[in-house]
Amino acid sequence: MKITRGWLAAIVIVCVILLDQLLKIWVKTNFFYGEEFVIAEWFRLYFIENNGMAFGMEFGSKLLLTWFRLIAVALFIYYIYRIKDKAFFQTGYLVCISLITAGALGNVIDCVFYGVIFDNPVPPFTATLFPESGGYGAWFHGRVVDMLYFPLVEWNWPEWIPYIGGDHFIFFQPIFNLADAALSVGVIVLILFYSKNFYAKEVEEEDKDDAQIMRFPKK
């Protein structure tokens, strides 16, 4: 049985969201805020939450940001629907758009629902899913759960360097989640390998013009 491109996009989105949410719920209900679990020196689970965008960045009003994400996700889903059957758009391009959509939607779910389905206990207690006392916030005001931490290398800057001398530096310092990872991979692969798809409309129009010229050559 051959999977259509529309179904492929749906499978990618559902799988990413499912894995992302399962990991977030597991971390949220088994780790207290700020708890760290060392898997390797360069890979750790470190539970934090943020109010903003990918990799813990924050931007403007929480409610405004959540609505912006919802609109963006809706536009991406509509875009996937429009291009899924168009041959010019490569399957890899469609997968990248699906990863970006899934990444955005994964964090939207946190923002919309987590404030009402989780409580917010003081460490060392962990959160409860669907607590009897209610959640820690309102609809659209949930916090995004992050846990993936890759401190690959670290060092102290020499004292003689202005401004940063003596500071401790860690690479890679941002803590993120699977949704962030899916979104970032989708964007990077899209730019590196599928950038020509951005100009699909112009290319299609040029191909149509060429076809017309071949069918009706000038005398």
Structure tokens at 142: 């949930």
84 and 94 Cβ atoms separated by less than 8 Å: yes
Q: How far apart are CA 150 and CA 67, in angstroms?
A: 30
111-148 tens-digit pLDDT: 999 999 999 999 999 999 999 999 999 999 899 999 99
123 and 26 Cβ atoms separated by less than 8 Å: no
Q: Once rounded to an integer, what is the mean pLDDT over residues 152-164?
A: 87
Q: How many CB atoms lie within 10 A of CB 184?
A: 16
Q: What is the DSSP string of the chain?
A: -PPPHHHHHHHHHHHHHHHHHHHHHHHHHHS-TT-EEEEETTEEEEEEEESSSGGG---S-HHHHHHHHHHHHHHHHHHHHHHTT-TTS-HHHHHHHHHHHHHHHHHHHHHHHHHHHB--PPTTSPP-BS-TT--SS-TT-PPEEEEEE---EEEEPPTTSTTTTT-EEEET--EE-HHHHHHHHHHHHHHHH-GGGGGHHHHHHHHHHHHHHHHS---
Q: How many CB atoms lie within 10 A of CB 68?
A: 16
pLDDT at 62 over 80: no
pLDDT at 61 over 90: no
Provide the pLDDT confidence category of residue 210 given band limits of 50, 70 and 90. very low
Select the more confidently predicted residue: 214 or 188: 188
1-37 tens-digit pLDDT: 688 999 999 999 999 999 999 999 999 999 999 999 9
Question: What is the number of domains present in the chain?
Answer: 1
> Tokens 């991406």 belong to which residue?
76
Q: How far apart are CA 148 and CA 45, in angstroms?
A: 5
* Range of the structural domain that residue 81 is part of: 5-215
Q: Which residues are catalytic?
A: 146, 180
Q: How far apart are CA 161 and CA 168, in angstroms?
A: 13
With 0.75 as the threshold, say if the pTM is over it: yes
**CB within 8 A of 188, min separation 6: which ones?**
none
Q: What is the DSSP string of 86-127?
A: -TTS-HHHHHHHHHHHHHHHHHHHHHHHHHHHB--PPTTSPP
> Tokens 């390797």 belong to which residue?
40
Select the more confidently predicted residue: 203 or 134: 134
Among 51-55, 141-145, 167-171, 200-204, whose mean pLDDT is lowest? Answer: 200-204
